[in-house]
């Protein structure tokens, strides 16, 4: 069995190495799968360490990346996930982490030092906002926040010590859409790294590496896992950049356990089946909500009323399962709406097969100053829903129950 999982054997048994896989669905199902012992799926290798062989000693001396030595570095299951995600994002290599925030923090700390500077948006994910504004300044790393939808504003914020332009495909939870090619052009012109959080789109809806982005980050907890039963993160990019991230992953210790990776790989195999259903549901519900008398505003990139509709048609025309909307009557009305729902579950997170709802003001973005939230579009009454794969009419009936509770 030891020989079975050596690097050469592992590479030879990886399905996308043997098959010419062009379709996204085929890559989702087959890429990365390690048929150890002729198993259909990658078995769970619940082991903290591996037998040291001459080959593995050589891999250790070469840096130890993707070498089966110790599970904090790599495991059979983490490598399977990394290969699958690399295929789906059309990258060269990937590393996986114990959480999305571990992926974000480790990636940023791999390329930043005291005295460096980042440009980002004030309505990034709440955890990212906290990292940029509370933690990194303690190490002498500063961030300028400006409108991600305006490349000129990002360019104006660039300083001589700027190293990274940090963007999100879709902002969380206001659903602003980034003009990725414009940001890539800006980053290349100023010799900066362009790093994107692609969680809200998934590689099914958007592949930023193909547009020139340097590194793509995911909270694999969300659409990639797809079942609200794991926590994880990942970063995908060139072999050169991922190789620079790997030692920091080892030092910071945020490695995923093998069973978690097994569940993630299982979830990723149906990404191309789940995403069309939930995106269709979300697009149709967004249209109906926009016409509802108790709604002030709806944010969804498939709506022509969305400020970034034209950009969305270029960078992520398939849409998203996320909907943001403002209930008339402010936060009190929004809370009553949520408490009237029966099927849509009041819980944080997103991207699962079930629909989830929350008000960002008292959940994901509660630690962001109120004036910053409001300026970013998180005005009173804002509700975020992650639409699942339930039947459309059942979802609509539940939304109507919520409105009836106001």
The full DSSP string for 99-128 is SHHHHHHHHHHHH--TT-EEEE-TTS-HHH
The residues spanned by each domain of the chain are 3-268, 272-404
Mean pLDDT for all residues in the chain: 93
What pLDDT is attached to residue 402?
98
Instruction: Tell the residue number behind the tokens 């072999």, with chain if given.
Output: 239
Give the residue, 2 or 319, on which the prediction is more confident: 319
What three-state secondary structure class fits 230?
coil
CB contact set of 283 (below 8 Å; sequence gap of 6+)? 300, 302, 319
23's tokens: 């379709």
Lowest mean pLDDT among 267-276, 356-365, 387-396: 356-365
382 is a catalytic site residue: no
Determine the CATH number of domain 3-268.
3.40.640.10
Contact 100, 254 (CB under 8 A): no
Q: Note if 239 is an active site residue.
A: no
What sign has the CA pseudo-torsion 139, 142, 147, 150?
A: negative
Judge whether 193 and 223 are in contact, CB under 8 Å: no
Contact assessment for residue 170 and residue 201, using Cβ atoms and an 8 Å cutoff? yes
For the chain, the distance separating the N- and C-terminal CA atoms, rounded to the nearest angstrom, is 61
* Structure tokens, 389: 């794969």
Give CA–CA dist 81/261, Å, rounded: 6
Identical fold between 3-268 and 272-404? no
Q: Among 72, 266, 297, 328, which one carries the catalytic annotation?
A: 72
Q: Name 158's Cβ contacts closer than 8 Å, sequence gap at least 6.
A: 119, 190, 192
Q: Which of 56, 84, 176, 222 is catalytic?
A: 222
Query: Where is average pLDDT lowest: 201-205, 329-333, 360-364, 386-390?
Result: 360-364
pLDDT per residue as tens digits for the range 203-258: 999 999 999 999 999 999 999 999 999 999 999 999 999 999 999 999 999 999 99
Q: What's the rounded Cα separation, in Å, for the pair 198 and 210?
A: 13
DSSP H or E stretch at residue 281: helix 271-290
Residue 72: active-site member: yes
pLDDT at 360: 85
Closest by CA to 353, choosing from 229, 175, 174, is 229
Classify domain 272-404 by CATH number.
3.90.1150.10
- The per-residue pLDDT for range 284-300, each reduced to its tens digit, is 999 999 999 999 999 99
Active site residue 149: no
Question: What's the pTM?
Answer: 0.93
Catalytically annotated residue among 79, 116, 197, 214: 197
**DSSP letter (8 states) at residue 134:** I
| Antiparallel, parallel or unpaired: β 117-120 and 142-145 | parallel
Are residues 224 and 263 in contact, defined by beta-carbon separation less than 8 angstroms?
no
CA distance 405 to 339: 8
253: left (phi over 0), alpha (psi -120 to 50) or beta: left
DSSP secondary structure letter of residue 284: H
Q: Catalytic pick from 79, 84, 123, 125?
A: 125
């Amino acid at each position: 069995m030891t020989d079975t999982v050596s690097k050469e054997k592992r590479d030879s048994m990886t399905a996308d190495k043997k098959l010419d896989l062009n379709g996204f669905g085929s890559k989702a199902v087959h890429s990365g799968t390690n048929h150890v012992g002729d198993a259909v799926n990658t078995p769970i290798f619940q082991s903290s360490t591996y037998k040291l062989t001459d080959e593995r000693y050589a891999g250790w001396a070469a840096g130890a990346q993707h070498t089966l030595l110790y599970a904090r570095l790599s495991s059979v299951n983490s490598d399977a996930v990394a290969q699958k995600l690399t295929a789906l994002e059309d990258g060269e290599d990937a590393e996986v982490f114990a959480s999305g925030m571990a992926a974000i923090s480790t990636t940023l700390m791999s390329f930043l030092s005291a005295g460096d500077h980042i440009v980002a948006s004030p309505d990034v994910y709440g955890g990212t906002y906290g990292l940029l504004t509370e933690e990194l300044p303690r190490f002498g790393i500063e961030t300028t926040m400006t409108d991600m939808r305006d490349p000129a504003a990002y360019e104006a914020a660039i300083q001589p010590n700027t190293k990274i332009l940090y963007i999100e495909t879709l902002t969380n939870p206001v659903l602003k859409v980034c003009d990725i090619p414009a940001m890539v052009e800006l980053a290349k012109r100023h010799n900066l790294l362009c790093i994107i959080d692609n969680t809200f789109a998934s590689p099914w809806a958007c592949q930023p590496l193909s547009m020139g982005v340097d590194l793509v980050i995911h909270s694999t907890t969300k659409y990639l896992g797809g079942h609200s039963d794991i926590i994880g993160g990942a970063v995908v990019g060139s072999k050169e950049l991922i190789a620079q991230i790997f030692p920091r992953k080892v030092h910071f210790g945020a490695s995923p356990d093998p069973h978690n990776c097994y569940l993630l790989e299982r979830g990723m195999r149906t990404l191309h089946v789940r995403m069309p259903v939930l995106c269709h549901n979300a697009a149709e519900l967004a249209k109906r909500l926009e016409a509802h008398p108790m709604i002030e505003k709806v944010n969804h990139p498939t709506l022509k009323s969305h400020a970034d509709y034209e950009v969305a048609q270029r960078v992520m025309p398939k849409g998203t399962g996320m909907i943001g909307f403002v209930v008339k009557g402010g936060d009190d009305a929004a809370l009553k709406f949520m408490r009237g729902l029966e099927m849509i579950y009041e819980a944080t997170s997103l991207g699962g097969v079930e629909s989830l709802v929350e008000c960002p003001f008292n959940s994901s973005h509660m630690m962001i100053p109120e004036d910053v939230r409001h300026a970013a579009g998180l005005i009173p009454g804002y509700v975020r829903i992650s639409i699942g794969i339930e039947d459309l009419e059942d979802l609509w009936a539940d939304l109507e129950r919520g409105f009836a509770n106001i």
